[in-house]
Structure 1
Amino acid sequence: MGAGKSTIGRLLSTELDLPFYDSDKVIEERAGANIPWIFDVEGEVGFRERETQAIADLTAQDNIILATGGGAVLKPENRKYLSERGSVIYLKTSVELQIERTRRDKNRPLLQTEDPTRVLQKLMDIRDPLYMDVCDHVVTTDKRNPKLVVSEICRVLDI
């Protein structure tokens, strides 16, 4: 959360003239409801099922830019779809910057707690090894201009 996936994805899409999809937005469009509502009604399990279907469908397309939700790597089938069907860039950022970027965002159900720093650190501890396992490249986004991050992605992908 707060690594810049959507922002950088949109910029990369423009740079490469490819369609951009944000899996969270696709889930919301399909459900006709926002993610907090899905979490409230179906829980995280229901949301993750919707997420897997969206990722399966989106990664079946060629030549797209896809930003997934931060927890997409939790399910093995998502990691399989992502790694087998495209190049995966892990946009890595510190927990401190994640807090700074997400502190006012009420659209992140997992952070609606008294101690979001603890939650983000726990999520990082669980997710970081999964991101490292599935990614082709790691690009750090901490305190970096999004356009410079896009340039680095293009360089590491040799585009």
Structure 2
Amino acid sequence: MTATDKIDVENIPAVLNRLGRRTVVFVGLMGAGKTVIGRKVAATLGLPFVDSDHEIEEVSRMTIPDLFAAYGEEEFRALERRVIARLLKEGPQVLSTGGGAFMSAATRQAVARHGVSVWLKADLETLMQRVVKRQNRPLLQADDPRAVMQRLMEVRYPVYEKANVTVRSRDEPKEVIAAEVMTSLARFLADGREVRKPAR
């Protein structure tokens, strides 16, 4: 870790103050590092960390793959929207969301009202290296998971670009990526763009 990668601890009180009651919301594809980096950022800020997929499994008493198998993606997404809407009202905190969550316009609006969104952007090679060993990815249960991932990138990346902050996720220690997230958050909040539009 270089000097520029270290978290400026003097920025932490300012970030917390400007964040207020809002939630730092991590978005991105499976394998982008939302949980790992989210936990690190939460620890740095002294805030609770919540994983929306874990919360969904808690309330449904089913695993994500089982939910997909039993009810299909549409019903899963409806439950996901409800759970995330509830969680966003419980800030300040750091929230990791599932890869498809930010694709919902309703969820994006809720995040805009109650949070600051951070997109962890990763390339195809990085994502595939990270997900290939995991068997709990319903959308990748296909003959050609790499092609599925490529298609997900093509569809979702233009939407992820709507996030407030973008940080490149890559093969670096989590401390480095978390430091970049903190720097980007501090810059975004300090720019005055943190002022929310009135809820309609």
Using the size of structure 1 for normalisation, the TM-score is 0.96
Structure possessing the higher radius of gyration over alpha carbons = 2
- 2:171 partner SS: coil
How many Å apart are 1:142 and its aligned residue? 1.2
TM-fit CA distance, 1:62? 2.0
Choose the corresponding residue for 2:57, options 24, 28, 34.
Answer: 28
Does 2:129 align with 1:115? no
Question: Equivalences for 1:10-159 in 2 at 5 Å?
Answer: 10-133=39-162, 135-158=163-186
CA distance in 2, matches of 1:84, 1:132: 17
- The alpha carbon displacement at 1:66 in A equals 0.3
- Which of the pair has the greater relative contact order for Cα pairs under 8 Å at 6+ separation? 2
Distance in 2 (alpha carbons) for counterparts of 1:145 and 1:82? 28
Q: 1:8 aligns with which of 15, 23, 37?
A: 37
Q: Distance in 2 between matches of 1:116 and 1:44?
A: 17
Question: 1:102 Cα shift?
Answer: 0.3
Shift of 1:138: 0.5
Unmatched segments (≥5 aa) in structure 1: none
Q: Name the % identity.
A: 37
TM-score by length of 2: 0.77
| 2: CA distance, partners of 1:115 / 1:97 | 17
Write the deviation string for residues 75-113 of structure 1: whole angstroms up to 9, x where unpaired.
Answer: 110111112211111000011111110001111100111
List runs of 5+ in structure 2 lacking aligned partners: 1-29, 188-200
Amino acid of the structure 2 residue aligned with 1:11: K
Aligned length: 158
